[in-house]
Amino acid sequence: MSWAWCGTCHIQILKGHIYKIMDPDERHTHSKIQDTSENSGLACQIPVNAELNNLVFKIMERT
């Protein structure tokens, strides 16, 4: 995937894990967002598949 430019879909994973390595575009955008952690990412970059079963996350507010 790619794009990952705006960061408006920043999420914090509360339960579960997504087994995906951030591509360079996502990593760059992620580095510009405040309050990121190892458990955060961009929802637009998450493939929709069975790995999401029971995943719990919240959409972070933009600051």
Find, among 23, 28, 24, the residue nearest to 7 by Cα: 28
Question: What's residue 61's pLDDT?
Answer: 86
Between the alpha carbon of residue 13 and those of residues 38, 40, the distances in Å are 9, 6
pLDDT tens digits for 18-60? 888 899 999 999 999 988 999 999 999 998 999 899 999 999 9
Question: What's residue 31's pLDDT?
Answer: 92
pTM, two decimals, is 0.82
Question: What's residue 2's pLDDT?
Answer: 61
